[in-house]
Structure 1
Amino acid sequence: MTINGTPAGTGRSAATVGGRVDWVDYAKGICIVMVVMMHSVLGVEKAAEQTGFMHYVVMFAKPFRMPDFFLISGLFLSIVIDRDWRTYLDRKVMHFAYFYVLWVTIQFGFKAPSLAAESSWSQVGLLYLESFIEPFGTLWFIYLLPIFFVVTKLTRSVHPLVIWLIAAALEMTHLTTGWTAIDEFCARFVYFFTGYIVADYVFALSDRARARPALALLSLGLWALVNGGLVALDVSEWPIVSLALGLSGACAIIVIGTLLARAHWLAFLRFCGEHSIVIYLAFFLPMAATRTVLLRADLIHDIGLISLIVTAVGVGGSLLIWRLALAVRANFLFERPTAFWIAPKKAAPALQAAE
C-alpha cells in the first residue's frame, strides 16, 4: 500500500509532499481511526453489556468505513498491474502474506492461554492452523487484499464494466456463508475494483473539492444527513442502498481528506494514514489491555468515554509499539526483510516497510 507519488503522464494533479499524495494519507488516517474505533467501541460494549454515545458514531460510519479503505487501496493499482507476475506477486501477495503470518502468530501468542483455558492446547493449535483458511480476528483486511490484487490482474482481459457489474451484484447479495474470506470478498471487491477503474475521476473529485471548498462542505452536509437518516431508519444495509452508501461515503471521506489537506488541519490524521498498516497490525494489544484495565478499575462509568479512551490508546499505543520496535531494532515486526522477497529490487534496502 505504499504510495510512491504520482507518475508523469497520469494526468493527476493531487498535491504531493515528500512523494506522498496528501489527501490520500488524510483519508487513510480517517479510515484507520474509524477501524480502531469500531473494534474498541464494540469490544467495550460487549464486555460491559452496555452501549454508550460512541455506539452511534460507529453505526454512522458502518456503511462507508471499509468501502473507503478498499477503494483507496485500488487507486494506484493501474501503476503496477502491468508488472511481471513475479514482481507483482512479491509486492502485492508476499508482502501482505509476511505480515499476516507474523502478526497472526503474535496475536495467538497473546490469546493462546485464555483460549486453552476454554478448551485445550490441541484445539488452540487447530485454531492457529485454521487461521490460514479463516482470517483471524482483526487481520482479515490484509488477508483479503492479496486476493483482490490477484483477481484483478487475472481478469484484465475481461471488460471492466462486466467485472464491476458482477462485483456490484455480489455486494448486493449480502452473502453470509460464515467464511470470512468469501463473505468479505463478495461485500468489498466492488469498492477495490471501483478505485482501480475510476482512479482518475477520484483524483478529479479531490481537485474540485480543493478548488471549491464551500461547495464541498455543503455537499458533505447533505451526505451526512442522508447517510445518518438511512442508518437511523435501519435501511442502510438494504441491497442497492448499501452499495450507494458505500460509494458515496468513500467519496465523502476523500473530500474530507482533501479539505483537511488544503487547510493543513489535524496533521495527526495524516500521520496515521502514512502509518495505517502499522496501526492496523498492532492496535489490538493496547486496545485490549486498556479496555480490561478501565473496566476492571471501575473508575469511569460512562461507557462512551471508556470507548473513546480505548480508541485513542489503541491508535497511540500501536504507534508507540512501532517506535519501540525500531528503537530495539526489531524492525522485522513492521518491515519485510529481503529474505522474504521473491523479486527484490536492485540495490534494495534490507527491509521493506509495511506500507
Structure 2
Amino acid sequence: MSPALNASITEDDLVAFRDSLARFLDKHAPPTRIARWNQDKVVEREMWRLAGNYGLLGVTIPEAYGGWGGDFRHERIIIEEFGKRGLEGWGVPLHNMIVAPYIVAFGTEDQKRRWLPGIVSGEIVLAIAMTEPAAGSDLQGMRTHAERDGDHWRINGQKTFISNGQTADLILVACRTDRDAGSKGLSLIAVEGSAAGFSRGRNLDKMGRAAQDTSELFFDDARAPAGNLLGGTAGRGFSQLMTMLPQERLGIAAMGLALLERALALTIDYARDRNAFGQALLDFQNTQFVLAEIKTQATACRFFIDACATRLLAGALDATTASMAKLFVTEIEVAAISRCLQIFGGYGYMNEYPIAQIYRDARIDTIHGGTSEIMKVLIARSL
C-alpha cells in the first residue's frame, strides 16, 4: 500500500528534489567514502542523521508525523541517484520504501506518533525480519513465535539475512502469535534494538553490496511492550505482509533497472575508448548488436516499471503484476550485466573497475523479496 499520488507535487518539484539529492550525495557520499563503507561493511550512523537533517528519510511519511508527504516517485529518484553512484549498499530504500509504509498504513495512532518522527530524523533506523534459516520465501514455515506475558510479548526464534540488521533501532519481526492458526496466526511485532533478550549475530560476509549490514538476529525471550504489536490486533501479520509486498517487489525491480542502466552506460563508454585490432570496440558489429539489445531491454524494463508505478500510485497494482515486474526486470538485469562485463574482457574481472562490483551487487535481485522461482509460482496462479 503505497501513499497515493500527491497531485500537489509538480514535475518541477521532482526535478528540484533530484537536484537536491544529487548535491547531498556528491558532498557526503563521494567515491572514497563509499569505498570505506564497502570495506567496513556498514554505513556509519552519522550518515543516517545527516540524511534525516537533509530531508531524505521517510519521504512519503505524512506531514503530521514529521515527513513531507511525498510518494513513490520520490522513492524512485532516490533509487536512481543511488544507482548512479554504486550506493546499493546503503539501506535507505529499505528504511523508506519497504518498512516505514507498514507503520504508516497499519500502525495505531500511538505507534505512528512514537516512531515516525524518529524515522524521518534518522534517530530510528528500520529493518524488517521475515527470513529464517529454515524459512525463506515460505512464510508458512516460520517458526519464530511470541507469547503474551502481561503487558509484554515474549519472542523466541531466529532470523537471518536481515538488511540493516546491525544498525536498526526498530525491527518489525514477523512471528507466530498463534501456532495453530496457520497464516491467521502471524503478527508483526516491533522490537527495539535495546530490548532484553534480543541480540545480533555477526555482520554476514556477502558476495555483493558489501556496505549493507546484513545480520542474523536472535530472540531469547526477547521482550517487546504489548503496544508494539503492529496495528494493535494479533493475527493480521500475513495480510499486512501481502499488502506491502507488491510495492517492495516493484522497488526491487526499480533498483535492478538502476544497476542495469549504470552498467550499460559504463560499458558504452569503455567500448568507445577501448581499441582492439586497430579500432574501437564499439565499431565492431558484435559489440553494437549486444549493446543495442541491452539498451532495448533496459528501455522495455523502464516502460514496464513506469506503468506499474502509475498503477501503484492509483492503488491498483496487484500482486501478480508486481511479481511479473520483479521477475522480468531482475532476470534481464543479471543476464545483461554479465554480458556487459564480458565486453570489458579481463578488466571486467578486476575489482578496480565498477562493472565488477555491479556484477556482484546485481545477483541478489533475483533472490531477495522472493526468488524468481517464487515469482513464477505466484504468476502461474493467475493463469
Specify if TM > 0.5.
no
Name the structure where strand makes up a greater proportion of residues.
Answer: 2
TM-score, normalised on structure 2? Answer: 0.27
Name the structure where helix makes up a greater proportion of residues.
Answer: 1
